[in-house]
Structures are given as C-alpha cells and as structure tokens.
Structure 1
C-alpha cells in the first residue's frame, strides 16, 4: 500500500486530494500549521474505511520541522512514495507597497517550503532505496504569464515550476521518480477568490473569463492529482497540467 504526504492538507484542494487518495486505498498523511483544522480534516479521513491516515502539525518554512514531520509519517505509515506540495501563501498588493517581510513570507512558504519538503523526501528515498516515487507541485499560470499585485507568489511559483522540471530530469535518473505540476484555475471553496478579488463583481468577472463559464472544484483537482500519481501515468514526467477551464488561454475575454 502506497503512502502520500500532502502539505496544506487540512482544507480546500489539499483536503480534497487527501480524501481522494484515501478513498482509493492509499495511506494519507496531511500536514499544516493549524492543529484544529487538521483534526477536523482527520475526522473526514477516518470516516473512509480504506487506508490509514495521520495528521502532522508543522511549518513548511522550517527545514528541521519538515524532517521531523516526515520521520513521524514514515514511522506510522511506512515509506512515503508520493508528495503533494500544496501549502501556499498569497495576498494582493501593488509591488511598490510590498514590504520586504511580505515578500519573504510568501517566498518562504511557496518556494522554500516546496524545496524543504521535496528535499527531505529525496533524502528519505535515498535511505529507503525507494524508486518510482511521485511529486506533484501546485503552481499558477502567472508562473509563466504575469499577475499584477502578486509579485512574490508569481516569482515563487515560477521557481517551483523550474524546480519541478529540473528534478524531473535529475531525480528521474537518480530515483526513477516523476515530478510534475498542476496549475489550477479559479477553484471554488478554496478561499482563493476571497483573497484575490475584493468585490463580488470581481469574482463574477473572473468567472466570465473562464471559457467553460464556471469555477473548478477541489474534487476535480483531486481527480487530476490522483491520476498523475497513479501507475497509469508512469511516463508522465516534468509536465505542468493546467486545469482551469481554458482560463489562462483567454487573452481577449468577452
């Protein structure tokens, strides 16, 4: 039975992915900073009969905390085969109004946090002599486009996308591992619209700019993540799949 570690796994897309993998019979470890939300998510995971589940409270910005989290997970669930780097932080702010602390806080969570969890997993794979693992990183289309007011997140996600492709090559050779990314579009029930749109009219504008005419769901992201990590996709490596209803392609919205 395979084990997956999902950071930021207590809510939104992270929780949806955890529920999907657990339903499919995987052992699931979720991690995050908020103990209360982790325990709420654990209640839902434990209601699913297949697989085992644990929650670990830690901060992805702290490398040693990431190491200790993985140690707890492997002690309880055995070798960890897969990782979803889902923990994120973002806010809208004109770049000239951005403080150095605001810049650093997002970079530390998104880019450094992704590196920290990925690196400790690589060390784990090396110790366990584990091959055929899978890593899925969550990015955004402004990693290769642009996004006014989200400079730190855009820069961090661009770094994550490059790290994805770099390790797809390096760790493909070293571990037979696959490293891929998902770029979600506007997704309902995640809080993203609340953070990135200050008015209900802005939310509706974003919805109209999606060619399929709606926001995506966390469950659709979870289905894609499971498919990408599954044995069906053993040859998928170094790719970024946009699941956004065609949103990022819409250069001239109606």
Structure 2
C-alpha cells in the first residue's frame, strides 16, 4: 500500500481502508520521513519547507487521520519516531526543527486527546542506530562512525531491535500510564557529547561493557551464515563486537 503522508486526503483514505478491512486500529507508528545533509547557511527555503512538510506536517496528517477515522471514538496508541534534538543537529537543521515540532505536538495532543477513550501518544528518539541508513553516508563518514562509537556513556551504537522494543513497549498495556513523553533510546548520548572531563567519567574507547539487545533477526545472511544488518562492513564489525559482549557478560 503506497502512501504519501504529505497528502491529508490520502492519509485519511488509508486509515479508512484499514478500519474497513480489520474493523479496528489499535496503534499507529509514524516512521516515515526524510532529510538530506546541508549546512544551514547553504539550505534553501524550498529545501527547508520540503523536509518540514514531510516530517512535521506528514506526521500531523497521520495522527489526525487516525483520530478522525477511529481513535477519537475508540482510543488507541500512537508512537512517532523522531531524532535526538536536545543539542541540535548540525547539518540537519531542517529535520531538527521538524522533529522538535513533533515532540511538542505530541505533548499537546497527549493533553488534548488523552481523555478520548484512552488515547496515548508518545515519541521515541533514537540515537545513532546500526541500520541500512548508514549505507547512505560517505565513506569518510563511515570511517568516522567506525571509530567514534564510544563517544556516549554506553560506548556503543544502538540496534534496530532496541528501537523496535521501545516502540512495542509504548504500544503495549505495560506503558498504560505513559503519555506525552519523548523516550530517548540513545545510550545516553543526549546527556553529553564526547569525552567529559575527569578520569572517573571518561567513556571507554576500548569498547562497550553494555550487552547489546538483538531481539529479532537483524538483517540478512552473509556468505558465512551470520545474521548481519544491511549496513557498511565496518559498522557490521562493530555489531559483532557488541554481540560478543553479551556472550561474555555475567549479567
């Protein structure tokens, strides 16, 4: 099913089709979006508007369609994937502005829609996640990522499973008292950037001591039959190191 989330009419039609086919709409996960890297000084008005229209306006269209088409009368859960915006997103100011708008919109909708038959609406803000998206980065950026994974308190990047688990939790009854939050799934990178001062606070450049969570099959089989993410080879090497932490951990 193809959907242009920038088209409010199409968004409403898709929700109507789902409700007609299944008789209900329990949850909505907003995970569509897009951006491109550009310094703010080189960003055009058209480029800014295009990203905001897709990420912010498109998310509103889907939320409103879900409310009008089912959740306003029957309740439901909404989770939107955003990005960590607390410290700004250099070279991605357009998407940072849109994501910050989504976070505030989520808080407002939680207040306004919460009384409507148990609607809950939250955000998940992933940090750097090992995924196919890293294939879009220039080789120089991949090299940088491969050697800077320790620059957060967890000393590693996250996995798709760790983000998915957070979304599943927020959609579940276990999160029934959580409404209007932005859950940062980022290993603590939103708290501090780089190596903090003081030996006792330094992150571990030798590697993470935090076991990785891979709850679903990640990626595809390579020639050795090892499950990998569709990401650059250097990034997959990191993932294998993370998995080894879990195998050797006493936790």
Superposition TM-score tier, normalisation by shorter sequence: 0.7 to 0.9
Q: CA offsets per residue over residues 15-59 of structure 1, 9 Å max, x none? A: xxxxxxxxxxxxxxxxxxxxxxxxxxxxxxxxxxxxxxxxx2111
Q: CA offsets per residue over residues 158-203 of structure 1, 9 Å max, x none? A: 1000011001110002332111110101111140473488522321
Give SS of 2:179's match. Answer: coil
Q: Distance in 2 between matches of 1:239 and 1:126?
A: 19
Change (3 A) 1:206 1:100: farther
TM-align CA RMSD: 1.9
Q: Which residue of 1 aligns with 2:82?
A: 139
1:96 partnered with 2:41:
yes
**Please, which runs of 5 or more residues in structure 1 have no aligned partner?**
1-55
Q: Distance in 1 between matches of 2:183 and 2:117?
A: 22
Change (3 A) 1:251 1:193: farther
> 8 Å contact 1:197–1:203 — kept in the other structure?
no
Q: Distance in 2 between matches of 1:109 and 1:136?
A: 17
Q: Which residue of 2 aligns with 1:234?
A: 176
> 8 Å contact 1:136–1:182 — kept in the other structure?
yes
Give SS of 1:173's match. Answer: coil
1:164 partnered with 2:129:
no
> 8 Å contact 1:193–1:203 — kept in the other structure?
no
1:114 aligned to 53, 56, 59, which one?
59
Change (3 A) 1:112 1:205: farther
Q: Distance in 1 between matches of 2:50 and 2:137?
A: 16
1:251 aligned to 164, 186, 193, which one?
193
Change (3 A) 1:167 1:222: same
Q: Distance in 2 between matches of 1:252 and 1:68?
A: 46
**Please, which runs of 5 or more residues in structure 2 have no aligned partner?**
196-202, 204-251
Give SS of 2:54's match. Answer: helix
Q: Which has the larger share of helix?
A: 1
Give SS of 1:179's match. Answer: strand
TM-score (norm 1): 0.72
Deviation at 1:97, TM superposition (A): 0.9
Change (3 A) 1:192 1:122: farther
Give SS of 1:236's match. Answer: coil
Q: Distance in 2 between matches of 1:170 and 1:248?
A: 28
1:203 partnered with 2:145:
yes
Q: Distance in 2 between matches of 1:237 and 1:164?
A: 9
The structure having more radius of gyration, on CA atoms, is 2
Q: Distance in 1 between matches of 2:35 and 2:19?
A: 30
Give SS of 1:84's match. Answer: strand
Q: Distance in 2 between matches of 1:58 and 1:181?
A: 21
2:129 aligned to 161, 184, 187, which one?
187
Q: Choose 83-92 or 156-165, whichever is displaced more.
A: 83-92
1:119-134 matches, within 5 Å, as: 119-125=64-70, 129-131=73-75, 133-134=76-77
> 8 Å contact 2:25–2:71 — kept in the other structure?
no
